[in-house]
Amino acid sequence: MLYPPRLDLANLPTPLVKLERFSERLGGVNVWMKRDEMTGVEVSGNKIRKLEFCIAEAQRQGCDTLITCGGIQSNHCRATAIMGARLGMKVQLILRGEEPKIPSGNHFMDLLAGAEISYLPAEGWATAHPQYARQLQAEAEVAGHKAYFIPTGASDEVGLWGYIAASEELAADFKRLNLKPSAIVTATGSGGTQAGLIVGNQIFDLAEKIVAFNVSDSAVYFDERAREDIARWQTRYADLLEGTPGAEIDAAALSVLTQEGYLGPGYGIGYPEVFDTIKALASAEGVFLDPVYTGKAFYGMVNEILKGDEGCFAGAKDIVFIHTGGLFGVFPQQENFTFAAD
């Protein structure tokens, strides 16, 4: 596979392991985990795979500053802030909501890494944040700098490459382990991991299906998002992709499987089953999920598996869960965990 410019930022390949003890509870289904929470210590998670391509593109354009945006506890903003510090690039973050009185989790790490942070109200965010990013870019230019804007979650046609490259890595994992999973599972938030895996599955023929559990928005939203992002990727990289089997997919005809029902009260807000799932996996396997993304997706996956023929994994033997990271998001919600004898 030919790739556009890419930086070597993540610790790759990440391990693919079978959750031996946890799988015993699932009536004959083996759950495997692609441990992308191990892409780095501070830069852990899925965003660094996308940033390998986004920051390479920024540097190709001669930029010395990165601007990006997200929620206060954004894992993507944290990864960008730290990578900027490592590469000697200035990072400006636009965060959604009020500045917390006491920084915690990812936000605390943004501050430690020296990112410059602006806070915009949640109300009007959708239109206000790109405008504000353009303003910051203009100000950078006046000051003799050049700033590159990475959209939310690095989910655009550049960041899409992250999980296409991850798919190539999974193809090698599956070959080594002689594994042909029924499904690959991910949490979906800004859609780039899901869309990258969908394209990667077309190119590398990994599994029967890619199933995403939405932790924000709706299945309809992610359906449109994936098609739009993939179509833009095909247009932008048409020359590079010429002759790549699987890349000429008709984006309109793709099947985008987003399983609803596990978002709970809203983006970023955990609920009891999620906190219990985090505890259960940590104690059974020593693997830590987070309450914003992976905890909801993993809970959803387990619940759907236990539904048997009624669930979205009917007939599955092997399922691969992508652990997309997010550990630092546990700490701001730690009061919600209870440890009474259960």
By CB under 6 A, name the binding residues for ligand PLP.
Answer: 45-47, 75-76, 153, 155, 187-194, 290, 293-294, 324-326
Helix axes 75-87, 47-60, angle to 10 degrees: 50
- Nearest to ligand PLP of 140, 277 (CB atom): 277
Closest distance to ligand PLP from the beta carbon of 216 (Å): 9
- Nearest to ligand PLP of 160, 206 (CB atom): 160
The residue annotated as part of the active site, out of 74, 167, 190, 216, is 74
- Nearest to ligand PLP of 75, 137 (CB atom): 75
Q: Within 13 A of 113's CA, how many CA atoms are on the CB side?
A: 27
- Nearest to ligand PLP of 177, 337 (CB atom): 337
Q: By C-alpha distance, which of 304, 85, 142 is closest to 212?
A: 304
Closest distance to ligand PLP from the beta carbon of 309 (Å): 28
Closest distance to ligand PLP from the beta carbon of 196 (Å): 8
74 is catalytic: yes
Q: How many residues does the chain have?
A: 342
Closest distance to ligand PLP from the beta carbon of 175 (Å): 25
What is the H or E stretch that residue 31 is in?
Answer: strand 30-34
Q: How far is CA 95 from CA 92, 244, 267, in A?
A: 10, 38, 15
For residues 189-207, b (16+ Cβ closer than 10 Å) or e, as one string? Answer: bbbbbbbbbbbbbbbbebb
Q: Which two tokens stand for residue 110?
A: 């943004």
Closest distance to ligand PLP from the beta carbon of 270 (Å): 13
Q: Which residues contact 272 (CB under 8 A, 6 or more apart)?
A: none
- Nearest to ligand PLP of 133, 154 (CB atom): 154
Q: Tell me which residue has tokens 């009020």.
A: 98
Q: Which residues contact 208 (CB under 8 A, 6 or more apart)?
A: 181, 182, 183
Residue positions annotated with a catalytic role: 74
